[in-house]
């Protein structure tokens, strides 16, 4: 029966990247730029489970660093512009790329948490099982 519920869920990738509720795909996930709403306005899902922590930021820094640094190295080798031009081009581009990816990646992290029933780790009070 739990598998039937799992199969009826919308794709966590489409709902997460679009900032929609991971259960119904209709309600908005965010209240503002990055603040997660308390609950879904369409189906009432409580979003208190949503804790993406620093995961999206780490991936975004790696992706943006790779893209921007690669482009900056290419421009330096091909055209040798002055350092002020590098700063004028690559610093704003870094900020734009990071901000553009932040909301979709956080939405994806929250949707994947819901789809995989991820929870905070807890210690087993009975000790290790043999």
More confident: 122 or 69: 69
Q: What is the per-residue pLDDT for 81?
A: 97
pLDDT at 116 over 80: yes
* pTM score above 0.85: no
pLDDT per position as a tens digit, 76-109: 999 999 999 999 999 999 999 999 999 999 999 9
Q: Quick one: pLDDT at residue 129? A: 64
Mean pLDDT over 45-68 rounds to 93
Q: Say if residues 36 and 16 touch (Cβ distance below 8 Å).
A: no
Residue 118 has pLDDT above 70, yes or no: yes
User: Of 15-29, 40-54, 61-75, 83-97, where does mean pLDDT reach its minimum?
Assistant: 40-54
Residue 130 has pLDDT above 70, yes or no: no
Q: Is 62 helix (H, G, I), strand (E, B) or coil?
A: helix
Are the beta carbons of 103 and 30 closer than 8 angstroms? Answer: yes
Confidence of residue 1 (pLDDT cuts 50, 70, 90): very low
Residue boundaries of the structural domains of the chain: 2-115
The SS3 of residue 119 is coil
Contact 72, 18 (CB under 8 A): no
């Amino acid at each position: 029966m739990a598998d039937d519920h799992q199969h009826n869920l919308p794709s966590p990738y489409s709902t997460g990247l679009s900032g929609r509720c991971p259960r119904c795909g209709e309600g908005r996930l965010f209240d503002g730029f990055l603040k997660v709403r308390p609950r879904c306005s369409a189906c009432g899902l409580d979003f208190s489970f949503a804790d993406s922590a620093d995961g999206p930021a780490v991936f975004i820094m790696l992706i943006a660093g790779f893209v921007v640094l690669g482009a900056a190295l290419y421009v330096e080798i091909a055209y040798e512009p002055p350092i002020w031009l590098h700063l004028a081009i690559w610093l704003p581009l870094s900020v734009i790329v990071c901000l553009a990816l932040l909301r979709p990646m956080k939405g994806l992290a929250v949707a994947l948490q819901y789809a995989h029933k991820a929870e905070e780790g807890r210690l087993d009070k009975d000790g290790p099982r043999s």
